[in-house]
Structure formats: structure tokens, C-alpha cells
Amino acid sequence: MSDDDVWILGIHMTKFGKHLDKDLVDLASESVLGALADGGVSMADIEVIGAGNLLEAPNGIGQQLQHQIGQTGVPVYNVVNACATGATALRVAYLAIKAGEANVGLAFGVEKLSGVGMLGGGAPVEAGSEWQPQGRFGAVVGLEGQTGTGTMPGVFGQIGLDYDHRYGGATFELFARISEKNHAHSTLNPLAAHQKRMSLEQIMGDPMVAYPNTRPMCSANVDGASAAVVVRGEKLRTLSLEQRRRAVKISASVLTSDPWQDSCHVLPDVNTITRLAARMAYENAGVDPSDLDLVELHDCFATAELVHYDNLMLCPEGGAVDFFNSGATWRDGSTPVNVSGGLESKGHPIAATGIANIWEIATHLRGEAGPRQIEGAKVGMTHVFGLVSSCAVHILERASA
Amino acid sequence: MAQQVPIVSYLRLDPAPHLSASECTSCGARYFDRRNACASCFGSDFKHVELPTDGTLRTYTIVTAGGTGIIAPFVSAIVDCGGTSVRGNVVNIEPTSEALRLGMSLTLTTYSLGRDSAGTEAVGYAFEPAT
């Protein structure tokens, strides 16, 4: 192991779901104390903290956590980066280690999202007695529902059918079958918010949110937290055999924003940004898509999962429908995708998602995933994407790989 | 005739309703909002260009749960107007996947949002099937 490689030493996620009796700091503490214990270290060892929370960002969740579990004077970076918030927090700790400022870092993400309604849709316009053009579009009324939609389900509905328009075959039923897969996978994940298998008929018959995504095809708004302790390779060599055996290598850690593409302000281009991150990650890790034993990708909606098969280059360009139809992404397929159940079943507590995905992969690479273990997993990928727009891709490898 | 005001500044009502984009004079990137600079080439000079009122349906969604104050279901679409994508509702069509066809021809239409206390009428835009 090279001196300046960065490794995951400890990692933890809470159960995702409704946590009525726990506040943000309770959930954050549970995940962080879990990650510290998992890594065999304490707050005294942590030299930098990346802290992620979206909805209550101004309150400084990093320091709030320290005030409950350990104030040591180390730098805290409170970060916000849409659905890539947790992954961005992890990258703060990663970069501090790469920069030589720290040997051991902590990152966590936490969100309370139960009962929060649909996200997105843009700002309302103040209603006066006379029409008054406001904002960058000179709008006289709120534009949601007047000039199309900016809500997340609507945007990702359009992204799914845009793929259908370009390549064909991406029908309502196909998207529903992706959701069927993820709900089937979730039955093996005790930390998922929803763990019930759903039939294709149930999924297609459930209330439509924004065509072609029905309710179970949308990520669930739930509470949860996740945390990781990362360590520099040089430091890891001094730790116990058990710590070294369970450590998971971060072979690539990439964060991108959306490069300009024609019409990307009209319909967000989730493809170019993801493809850019994936290409960099494969190159940095020296890994090919065919090397991946499993992938956790950002299925905020069933439609998103399909386009990201393509964007992460798990299939030939334009081939996502055939790729899914081949069975490749089921847990017994050639490239299992979202064996955790994905955001559609596991839930999507926004800032917690980026590290929870890494926890899932790390758990398989350690051979500790129990009944849902992907046997012999050596290399895995995580992907998160948030509007508008941030994308993080990580490639992780088993210590002995 | 009473005054009219468009729902957004990129809807131009005269001489006939049409959509107008800001086009970067260096790279040709097109925008609908007030610009500080070009996100594509970083230039800062823009000109107004008129978009054709005919287009084709690039993609859509049927929003069933619209949220507070939003009349649902409605069809939100991305319409390709001569190579420039525009976001808007599709109206005068059944909001079903059977009625909507990707690639179908659409044309710009306008509708009234009502009058304010000064009698000014706000005018919205949408797309409808081309006849």
C-alpha cells in the first residue's frame, strides 16, 4: 500500500426510515460513533471533519456533533452540495489527507426528511395587485405548472423519456421493472426503509407521481445518517492486522459539476456530468467497467437508474435497455446494481446517501454483507448525482485486491 | 385595447406571440434568463433571436401530483423549436401517454392568466398539437 493512498478504516450507517424520537445530532452521533468504533479509533484520533447536511445547513452540523461527542479543536468543513453532499463531505477528509494536513479524517452526512414533500419546483413569486415581472425570467407568476415543471419527479420523468426518444425501448413497464428489481433487492437489507418485495403490477398500479414514475419508483423521503473514518496509507500500515484486513481502498474519488451542454438550462443534463466523473474515476483507479463486482448508483427515480447504466459506461452507449433486459443488474447478474435496494427502497436522506452507498460497497468488499453478500466482491463503484448539478463517483477496492 | 404583459420576458407578444432567446454572439449558446455572461464560452455579448413557433416533442412528463396551488394533471414538455429546446406545458391534448407521442409536431399557443387591478392582462404560453 502506497503512503498517500486513502483508505476507509471505519464506516457506519443508521437504519434509514422514520426516526421520530431522534434529532439530527442523535442520528449523526449514532453514525459517527459507529464509524469510530468500526475503525478502532476515537474522536481524539480525528484531525479533520467533513460534515454534510442540506436542509439545516446554516446551523453547522459538524460543530453541533462535536458539542455532543467530542470538541478537539480540529477543522470542521460544513458542506452542502445537493444529493452529493455526503460524498462531498467524504472528499473533504480525503483531500485533507492527500494534502498532507491529516492522517485520519472523519466524514458524515445526516438528514431528516420524513414528511417533507416534493422537492424542487422553483421559487414562488410574490403576488401583488398588479403584475410585476420578477427574477431572471421576468416572471409575473410562479412558473411551476405554467411553463412546465421543475419538480424532481417531473424533471427525472422527462430525463427518462428523453432517453426513450433517443434510443427507444424505455417504456413505462421497463422503468417499473427496474423498480421491481430494487424493491426485490431491498428484502435482504435490514437497514432499508422499505423492505417489501413489490410485483410489477403493484408498482405500475400505484399512484403516478410524474409519468413514467409511480410512487414506488421515486426515492423515499426518510431520515438517516452515515459516517466514515478515512486514513492515510502510511498511517494504516502502523495499525493492527485486523484494521488493515478490513480497510477498504479508495481507488478513485471524483467530484464534478455540470459542464455546459446545449439546452442544459432547459432540461438538466445528468448524463454528461456523470459520464465525465465516471471516465475520470476509471482512469484514476485503473479499472474497467467490466472489473466492477457491484455498483450503487443514484436511482433517485427508476428513470434515473436506466440512464446511469449508460452514463457509468456499464453498457455500450445507447444500450441501457438491452443491458437491463439481459438481467445484468439483478443481484445474480454480471453487474449487480443497487443490491441495497437503492434509493427507491432504502430511502434517500439526502446528505446521508453519499456515504451510505459507500458503506454498502465497503460491507460487500469486507465480506460482511450477510445474506445479501455479493460473493467474492473485490471492486465496487458508488455514484451520486444532485441537481443542479453535482456528481460524485468513487471506486473502492478490497484490501487484498 | 387593454395592456398585456407576458408571463416571462422571453415570451414576446408583438407583432405575434413568439419566444425569444438571448444568443451569445461568440459561441451561439442560447439562454432564456437574464445573463451575466455565457456559461459556455464566458463571453458577455448577447443578441435576441426569435424562435420558430413550431417544434417537436423531445420529451415530456405528466405531472399528477402538482403541489400547492398547481392545477394537475398537466403535461410538462421539452419542445425542440428549430434546434433550440424550450420548456413548456402541452395543452389541448389528453394528458395521457397514449395521446402524447415523442417527436410529434407542436405549435406555440397563448392563454390568459387574468387581469390585474390596472386591467393589464398577463399572457402565458404553451404548446398544442399542430393541425
The domains of chain A, with CATH numbers, are 6-116+222-249 (3.40.47.10), 152-217+251-396 (3.40.47.10)
The pLDDT of residue A400: 67
By the 10 Å C-beta count (0-12 exposed, 13-18 middle, 19+ buried), A373 is classed as middle
Which domain does B28 fall in, by range? 4-129
Please check whether residue A242 touches B, CB under 8 A: no
| Mean pLDDT confidence for A211-234 | 97
Q: Are A351 and A110 in contact (CB under 8 A)?
A: yes
Q: How many separate domains does chain B show?
A: 1
Nearest Cα to A401, choosing from A1, A11, A10? A1
Q: Is A348 among the catalytic positions? A: yes
pLDDT digits (tens, 9 = 90+) for B22-49: 999 999 999 999 999 999 999 999 999 9
pLDDT of residue A394: 98
Q: How far is B66 from chain A (nearest CA, A)?
A: 7
Strands B54-63, B105-115: parallel, antiparallel or unpaired by DSSP? antiparallel
pLDDT tens column, A245-294 = 999 999 999 999 999 999 999 999 999 999 999 999 999 999 999 999 99
The per-residue pLDDT for A124 is 61
Residue A376 class from Cβ within 10 Å (0-12 exposed, 13-18 middle, 19+ buried)? Answer: exposed
Q: How confident is the model at residue B1 (pLDDT cuts 50, 70, 90)?
A: low
Task: Answer yes or no: is pLDDT of A163 > 90.
Answer: yes
pLDDT (tens digit per residue) in A87-109:
999 999 999 999 999 999 999 99
Residues of chain A in contact with residue B120, where contact means CB-CB under 8 angstroms, are 130-131
For residue A136, list chain B residues with Cβ-Cβ distance below 8 A.
Answer: 33-34
Taking residues A153-169, report their average pLDDT. Answer: 97
* Residue-level pLDDT at A401: 43
Contacts of B30 in chain A (CB under 8 A): 262
Using one digit for the tens of pLDDT, what is the confidence trace for A197-222? 999 999 999 999 999 999 999 999 99
How open is the CA angle A279-A284-A287, to the nearest 5 degrees? 75
What is the arithmetic mean of pLDDT over A345-367?
A: 98
pLDDT per position as a tens digit, A35-54: 999 999 999 999 999 999 99
pLDDT recorded at residue A125: 64
State the pLDDT at residue B68: 72
Q: Provide the mean pLDDT of chain A.
A: 96
Q: Which of residues 98-137 of A touch B (CB under 8 A)?
A: 117-118, 121, 129-131, 133, 136-137
**What is the C-alpha to C-alpha distance for residues B38 and B58, in angstroms, rounded to an integer?**
24
Cβ-nearest to A210 among B64, B87, B88:
B64
Q: Let me know: does A145 contact B71? Beta carbons within 8 Å.
A: yes
Examine the pLDDT at B9 and tell me if it is beyond 60: yes
Q: Single out the residue of A253, A249, A227 nearest to residue A236, CA to CA.
A: A249
Q: Does residue A303 carry a pLDDT above 50?
A: yes
pLDDT higher than 90, residue B131? no
Residue A95 has a pLDDT of 98
B60 with A212: Cβ contact below 8 A: no
Q: What is the mean pLDDT of residues A78-94?
A: 98
